[in-house]
Amino acid sequence: MDTSKSATNEGGFLVDCDASPAGRFRATAGSAWIKVGQRVQRHGTQEMWDSVAVEGKEEEDGTLVVRVIVFNPDWDEPLQIASIRSRPRDLDSLSALGCNLNHVHI
């Protein structure tokens, strides 16, 4: 699967969302915060619960960071399950993406 796209100078992130049947959204952005909720059964009733979020932001040094965060109604705090970093302005960087899959309570 080829997931590469042409880079533009419009922003550090590309957001591509398909929310069938409501529609599709695609944009470049300087930052992003996307949440996906799902129906859960709690206390005898159904509700929508934001279960995962993806955050994209640029750090002060120009590093681009995407974090994957999981939320659970039974937990006291969210859990970051992935952090993916790129340094597009660092010509000496030896890797395109750095991936950290350590779980971090946030």
pLDDT for 37-93, tens place per residue? 999 999 999 999 999 999 999 999 999 999 999 999 999 999 999 999 999 999 888
Q: Would you say residue 3 lies in a domain?
A: no
Q: Would you say residue 21 lies in a domain?
A: no
Q: Would you say residue 81 lies in a domain?
A: yes
Number of domains composing the chain: 1
Whole domain around residue 36: which residue ranges? 31-105
* 1, pLDDT greater than 60: no
**pTM of this structure:** 0.86
Q: Would you say residue 7 lies in a domain?
A: no
The mean pLDDT value for 99-106 works out to: 96
Q: Would you say residue 56 lies in a domain?
A: yes
* Cα 92 from Cα 97, distance rounded (Å): 13
Q: Would you say residue 9 lies in a domain?
A: no
Residue 11 has a pLDDT of: 84
Residue 5 has a pLDDT of: 60
Q: Would you say residue 17 lies in a domain?
A: no
Report DSSP state, residue 77. S
